[in-house]
Amino acid sequence: MLIYALPMAWLGEVSVQVILHETIRNLYFHVTMWFAMIFLFGFSFFHAIQFLRKGNLISDMKSTLYAEVGMVFGAVGIVTGMIWANFTWGAPWVNDPKLNGAAVALLIYIAYFILKSSITESIRRAKTASVYNIFSFVMLILLIGIMPRINDSLHPGNGGNPGFGGYALKNSMRPVFYSAVVGWTIIGLWLAEVKIKWKSKMIE
């Protein structure tokens, strides 16, 4: 999917919009990274619940590793967003609720890793981290999914701005976008699975 999506992202035909112009190509990178990040944090959230339900430390390990890979995609999403903002809004960072919310959400996850590394006893560490992980995912959805929609935001689909579905996007853009979302998400899940297998071998 990425072999198809990446060349098309650079060379394919796009809808040249007011203000966005050719930077709309960043849709294939910035937005798809956030989708992959949310899926990865969602898997981390799921395994945190699984640990609290069953007390299996493997679930706690998976929860942490999915969150680690999610942070990588989140960091790339922030950087590509700053590049896009610099071209379209005139500065890499503006006072926008979605930008600020994304930064706070990632800081909350950084605090999750700090919290986990600060507790030495394994069961207590896993329980505390799992509860905090659930809180982190809920805050992520609130900060980047809900709050920007009820406040003024420069982002499409927020604060009264039309979403990309409201723009006259060329039909040829949609398969590229969805392929990139699925492709990057699968890459993220694969990276997490590699880390899980490597960590499991170390435990053995």
Angle between helices 122-141 and 97-118 (to 10 degrees): 180
User: pLDDT tens digits, residue range 9-18?
Assistant: 888 777 766 6
Which residues are CB-neighbours of 73 under 8 A, at least 6 positions away?
Answer: 33, 34, 36, 37, 40, 184, 188
User: pLDDT tens digits, residue range 76-135?
Assistant: 999 998 988 888 788 888 888 888 889 999 999 999 999 999 999 999 999 999 999 999
Residue with token string 């919009």: 17
The answer, as to whether pTM is greater than 0.85, is yes
User: pLDDT tens digits, residue range 146-185?
Assistant: 887 777 666 665 544 445 554 446 677 888 889 999 999 9
